[in-house]
């Protein structure tokens, strides 16, 4: 991305020679560090099925390509077979636990360093910003 000198509403940012009107972001792992919450919700769901908990750093390496892939990776990491019914139940319970954390004092999600400043800077430059997750 490039911009003319200065910043503010009168300055147009460009990407590959075209003016930008908006910048879209993913939320988890891009704007917010949610790995701790993801691990907590996942481990609660795994525990309900008698599966071992996974360390946050192990879960962090499994994040990417969506929650269904995360749950498949976590089940494989535990070394216990998972049929389709078990997978569907594990995924549903993960979503339940994650949704509960969003409204809980246990929530640990925080913006990554510099994320808020970057969003404010883009907004100040007159660009629309949105989260698409």
Active site residues: 26
d(CA 67, CA 95): 8
Query: Which distant-in-sequence residues (6+ apart) come within 8 Å of 125 by Cβ?
Result: 3, 7, 8, 9, 11, 13
d(CA 54, CA 40): 9
């Amino acid at each position: 991305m490039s911009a003319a000198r200065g910043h503010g509403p009168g300055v147009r940012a460009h990407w590959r020679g075209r003016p930008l009107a908006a910048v879209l972001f993913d939320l988890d792992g891009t704007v917010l560090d949610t790995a701790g919450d993801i691990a907590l919700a996942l481990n609660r769901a795994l525990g309900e099925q008698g599966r071992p908990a996974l360390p946050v750093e192990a879960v962090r390496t499994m994040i990417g390509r969506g929650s269904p892939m995360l749950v498949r990776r976590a089940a494989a990491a535990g070394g216990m077979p998972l049929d389709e019914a078990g997978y569907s139940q594990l995924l549903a319970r993960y979503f339940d636990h994650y949704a509960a954390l969003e409204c809980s004092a246990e929530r640990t999600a925080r913006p990554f360093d510099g994320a808020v400043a970057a969003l404010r800077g883009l907004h100040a430059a007159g660009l629309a910003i949105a989260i698409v997750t």
